[in-house]
Structure 1
Amino acid sequence: MELGDRQPGDPPLPADLQAAVDEWVTYAGAVARSGRPEELELLRRRGRQLASRVSGVLGRPVEFVDPVNGAVEHVTVGTGPLPRLREPTGPTPWGTGLVISGFTGVFVALADVTLCWAFADAFGAVWVPANLLVCFGLAPSLWLMRRFAVWRWFAYGAAAGLAAAWIVLLLGSLGPG
């Protein structure tokens, strides 16, 4: 990455930023020669991000030279949002995805019910806060996983499994026992 000429009075780059720039330069040399289009786009995005960070440290615009096509771009802090990477489009694998979700749902439901019954046998009603802790602990991870093509099926299955486990546990606690 060419950041333009160093000017007198420019502060030194922080060690972590300098290391990131050096790593990017090494990576750029390897990817620019034989990278796939998505790798090249990722290389450009990361280069612009680093140039923006360098601009913030130096307090002035810097030149970013695209390692793929040699285009020069003046980058400043807050140049604007970087364009999002396009997700590959294609048909949604409903058959495989629903099988994954179903398996994951059954597995999570059985595991949760078994855990809660063990807690109920040993500690009584402590299974309720324990199960709430499990559900609220998993919720952020499941929420983030839903964005990724393959992992979303596991997230949907786990969420459905937890919901089914709650239904089974609540109906079981109301019944004869």
Structure 2
Amino acid sequence: MKVVEVRAVRGRVMVAGVPLGDQGVEGTAGGRTWGLPPDLVDALQEWARVAATVRPLAAVPRAHPTAPPPAPDPAADSVSRRGRQLAARVSVELAVPVDYCDPVTGHRVALRAVTRTPHPPPVPLPVRAVEGDGAAPHPTGEGDGTPSPAAAAAEATPWGTGLVLAVLVAGLVLLANLALAAPLITGLGVLGLAVDAAVVAGLVPALWLNRHVPTWRWAVYGTFAGTGLALLFLAVAAF
């Protein structure tokens, strides 16, 4: 699958190595818009202009090579965060993976299968290894012990906590469904089972939309599991 790179170069936005053009300047010397919404094009261009005024973190001097990295500048942190959000929107609009090149840290952040933008992956600070001559390594992370782009963007999946949450939610949903639907099954039989299934089906679209949202996805998985078990038990009772 093609990966599109988004970066800011001297106040211009580069998308897949091509300058992002102004609205209505598709395919001209001014660049191309890639079919992106006008508001996103304007936001990207404004972000690139602001990024050009921010000093890269690698350019901030340190008193000693072994000294800790300088505290992040609020303006630089804002540029990094805004850039990640806009790159995530580009991934959504173009329906392709995006590599976001952070103008502050120099890191590349891989945005894969992005469907929502409120929580973009964090951009890690450069890890500066102390070399024999005291020189600081290049901020791109090539051969200096910094994470690779894929490792930098990856977040560990909290399987333990997530599965516990899913099991708890599944148990609660199972008990609630059985308690509420049991009188229907007792009085109406198969018709009561159909009524319960219709109510459950109405909740599926809302749950499905949250299947990729951090934390909430575990509750969604638990709800699906608990509902499925409840319908199975109710079907056995109805027949």
Identity %: 26
- What is the deviation of 1:49? 9.2
Pair 1:47–1:114, CA change in 2 (3 A): closer
Pair 1:171–1:129, CA change in 2 (3 A): closer
- What is the deviation of 1:40? 1.5
- The answer for the alignment partner of 1:79 in structure 2 is none
- Structure 2 distance, partners of 1:84, 1:132, is 32
Pair 1:36–1:153, CA change in 2 (3 A): farther
- The answer for the alignment partner of 2:83 in structure 1 is 40
Alignment TM-score, normalising by the size of structure 2: 0.42
Mapping 1:9-158, distance limit 5 Å: 20=39, 24=43, 33-34=75-76, 35=78, 37-43=80-86, 85=114, 88-158=153-223
- What is the deviation of 1:140? 2.6
Structure 1 stretches of 4+ moved >4 Å:
1-7, 44-50, 82-88, 121-124
- The answer for the alignment partner of 2:230 in structure 1 is 165
1:81-110 Cα distance to aligned partner (Å, 9 max, x none): x98657542222111111110111011111
Greater helix percent: which structure?
Answer: 1
- How many residue pairs are counted as aligned between the two chains? 135
Indicate the SS of the match to 2:157: coil
Pair 1:155–1:122, CA change in 2 (3 A): same
Pair 1:124–1:158, CA change in 2 (3 A): same
Amino acid corresponding to residue 158 of structure 2 in structure 1: P
Alignment TM-score, normalising by the size of structure 1: 0.54
- The answer for the alignment partner of 1:61 in structure 2 is none
- The answer for the alignment partner of 1:13 in structure 2 is none
Pair 1:41–1:84, CA change in 2 (3 A): farther
Pair 1:172–1:106, CA change in 2 (3 A): same
Query: Unpaired runs of 5+ in structure 2?
Result: 1-12, 14-19, 26-36, 52-74, 95-101, 104-110, 115-119, 122-152
- What is the deviation of 1:120? 2.9
Pair 1:49–1:139, CA change in 2 (3 A): closer
1:5-35 Cα distance to aligned partner (Å, 9 max, x none): 999xxxxxxxxx88x57x959x959x86341
- Structure 2 distance, partners of 1:47, 1:91, is 24
8 A Cα contact 1:108 1:158, kept in partner: yes
Pair 1:5–1:132, CA change in 2 (3 A): closer
Q: Could you say which structure has the greater relative contact order, defined with CA pairs below 8 angstroms and 6 or more residues apart?
A: 1
- Structure 2 distance, partners of 1:84, 1:38, is 19
8 A Cα contact 1:24 1:47, kept in partner: no
Query: Which stretch of structure 1 is more off in the superposition, 131-140 or 161-170?
Result: 131-140
